[in-house]
Structure 1
Amino acid sequence: MFNDTSSPLSLLRTRRSARPRDLVEPGPDATQLRQILEIAMRTPDHGKLHPWRFVHVPKAQRGAFASLLARAYAAQRPDAGRLEIEANERFAHQAPELIAMLSTPVESQKIPRWEQELSAGAAMMNLLHAAHALGFAGGWVTGWVSESKLVLEALGGRDGDRIVGFVFVGTPGVPLEERPRPDFDEVVSTWRP
């Protein structure tokens, strides 16, 4: 393992996002990937609706995924330049493992859509923590591909669903950088009536 996961607090303090382009082999094996996803599913889910889905895009299917991205991008930007097209090809082939996450809200009289969307975000964060706990790193990416209806449908999404993002998982090929964190007093306050 490349990180200090000797305690739960240490694990939480040391998790960093990785640039997908910097993630290399080894990635999680099938057993580890299943464990990561099972941990991701242990998220707050008011009403037990599990309003999210994970879609694994295995290495063997990355070429087909790249073709999907090319079609979707061309539909949105028919005049795309060579660099844009190449960037989408690289996106599809980054990192050892790729997982797309969908927010799939369920019609409910008791559980607002907003709570269900928050649950999807929490599941994505659990996925990143689980990958870190197993000694890997992950990068959560959105961008145009997360807004594409064609990509959403190809991933099994329906009307009302959204792509939460794509998580790339692997071993960091370069040291992970610590990004600036907000000042405590800037984001934490104590309510006083």
Structure 2
Amino acid sequence: MQFMHAIFPLGGMLGAIHISIMSKSVLDTLLSRASTDQLVEPAPSGIELERILSAGLRAPDHGRLRPWRYTVIAGEYRTAFADQVCDAVIRQAPDTPDFKLKKRREKFRTIPAIIALGFHVQPEGKIPVSEQEAAVAAGAMNVLNALHFEGFSGVWVTGAFQKDQQLLESLGLTTPHRLEGFLLVGTPSNPELSKPRPDIKPYMAIWNGKNASFAADED
């Protein structure tokens, strides 16, 4: 994506005016992002995947703890991993109906690629764990945005499997480290479909010295 910049040496407030003819379309692209599990081949791989995951490392990271741990599952290994995930669900939630297990196994077996969102926790450090977790979540959002910008898509899934130590160890996450879920990744089967989002106005406030209030919170 190319940008055009014009700088005018006028001094003061107008000392540098940058005109980006593509900035509006960049924001429009971001605003069109939506999660989907309706995904087909291909998934990103190689250098392209590395660049997309590198966007995750650009997330805010108080203390520079770098808590991100990404494990990628693709190709022939998806079937074995799908079995591991379902085994983990059975251990953690034995009452899970068979149809749900079957659906999850089929999804993990056939999705183009899976990215495990590992969280390398430092519980004894000066940075609160909640802030470390926020860095992992922000990284995941960066990855989802990067996928969208590159023509791919994904969805963030969670479940009982997140607490299963056998599964975590398979992903290189020994205690106390955690799993924050998976990104299911691929090419959207219907790239034109964008889920409607609510208008921003009920979810923002301009502070004026009094307690802020939001229309979204009104009965």
Interval containing the TM-score (normalised by the shorter chain): 0.7 to 0.9
The alpha carbon displacement at 1:50 in A equals 0.4
**TM-score where L is the length of structure 2:** 0.76
CA offsets, 1:58-116, max 9 Å, x none? 22211221221232123234455431331231132242111010122224543221111
Q: How many residues align?
A: 188
Larger RCO, structure (CA 8 Å, separation 6 or more): 1
| 1:189 aligned counterpart, secondary structure | coil
Pairwise mapping of residues 68-107 of structure 1 onto structure 2 (< 5 A)?
Answer: 68-78=84-94, 80-107=96-123
| 1:93 aligned counterpart, secondary structure | helix
Alignment partner, residue 10 of structure 1: 28
CA offsets, 1:132-174, max 9 Å, x none? 1111111111122334333223212232322222111111113
C-alpha distance 147-34 of structure 1, shift in aligned 2 (>3 A)? same
The amino acid across from 1:14 in the alignment is: S
C-alpha distance 17-79 of structure 1, shift in aligned 2 (>3 A)? closer
**TM-score where L is the length of structure 1:** 0.85
- Structure 2: 5+ residue stretches without partners: 1-22, 210-219
Which protein is bigger by CA-based radius of gyration? 2
Alignment partner, residue 124 of structure 1: 140
The alignment status of 1:47 with 2:63, answered yes or no, reads yes
Q: Is the 8 A contact 1:23 1:94 kept in 2?
A: no
2:77 pairs with 61, 74, 81, which one? 61
- Structure 1: 5+ residue stretches without partners: none
The alignment status of 1:173 with 2:189, answered yes or no, reads yes
| 1:57 aligned counterpart, secondary structure | strand
| 1:75 aligned counterpart, secondary structure | helix
Q: Is the 8 A contact 2:92 2:163 kept in 1?
A: no
Paired with 1:135 and 1:175, the residues of 2 have a C-alpha distance of 8
